[in-house]
Structure 1
């Protein structure tokens, strides 16, 4: 169960203000709270979390136990870099009403975001891909629902600073994991 809770907390922190959440909030603010947008966002969160968990399961079978922690540290580091470097773009000026196009955009955004790197890394590092995938799906659903229900919450200027602080925290966690694995810390 620790893998579930730790992954859930990490996904909630890393996913706040991410590109997919800004896209969902932008559509909800511009078009109103269409239930179809929420359903597509929930589907996308579940699919990408399942994909990250599936990849973690494949990687888990290939890596010996000492390498799993190092691999998890690399995933944490990538998640931290993503949070620092990739800033969410502004809300779409002319969004489409197509739910299929929204699904493709969300899948593309979520495939390489910090939250999915965390699901992948925690699944490998804690040897619990199913628990990490389930936690990632729940966390992604909570983030998508929050963006849909309160799009005004993502208008805050401090949002970029929150993402940067979370990114620095993830990089620090990756560094500590590396140092502990090599018995330096």
Structure 2
């Protein structure tokens, strides 16, 4: 069960202020709390979390145990870099109010974001793709639901700074993991 708990904590931290959250919060502020937006956001989080867990299961079968830890450290570092480098637009544009378009946008935001990198990497590194995938689904769902219920919190500078600080912490954790793997610490 460490794969579930560690992945859930990592996803919840890395997902604060992410592009999917900002998109859901921006639409909710502009359009009101439409239940369809919440349903689409939850569907997207479930699909991408399950996809990351499935990809981790495929990769786990291919990598020998020593390489799994290195792979997890790389995924952790990529998640941190993604959090620091790609800041979400503060006011997403949605001219059509289409739930189908929103689903596509959220899938594209989530498919390669920091939380899904973490699900993928930790599923491989901790040899638990199913618990990591479940944690990704639960954590991703909680993040978009929070954005729908509290959209005003994501237009503040604190949300953007939190994302960058968590990204830096993930990069440092990846460096520490690499140093430990190669017995340099």
Cα shift at 1:160? 1.6
Q: In structure 2, the residue corresponding to 1:158 is in which secondary structure?
A: helix
Alignment of 1:1-80 (within 5 A): 1-80=1-80
Q: Distance in 2 between matches of 1:131 and 1:122?
A: 10
C-alpha separation in 2, matches of 1:164 and 1:73: 19
Question: What is the DSSP-based 3-state SS (H/G/I as helix, E as strand, rest coil) of the residue aligned with 1:127?
Answer: coil
1:78-93 matches, cutoff 5 A? 78-93=78-93
Kept in 2, the 8 Å contact 1:12–1:139? The answer is: yes
Which residue does 2:135 correspond to in 1?
135
CA distance in 2, matches of 1:95, 1:77: 35
| 1:129-185 Cα distance to aligned partner (Å, 9 max, x none) | 000000010001110110001100112211121111101110011011111111111
Q: Distance in 2 between matches of 1:93 and 1:11?
A: 26
Structure 1 runs, 4 residues or longer, greater than 6 Å off: none
Across the two proteins, how many residue pairs are aligned to each other?
185
TM-score scaled by structure 1?
Answer: 0.98
Gaps of 5+ in 2: none
Question: Displacement, 1:92?
Answer: 2.1
- For 1:49-83, what per-residue CA distance to the aligned partner results, in whole angstroms no more than 9, with x for missing partners? 01100110000000000000000000000000000
CA 1:2–1:157: 2 relative to 1, 3 Å: same
Instruction: Measure the CA separation in 2 of the matches of 1:88 and 1:28.
Output: 16
The answer as to whether partners of 1:25 and 1:150 remain within 8 angstroms in 2 is: yes
Conserved? CA contact 1:27–1:95, under 8 Å = no
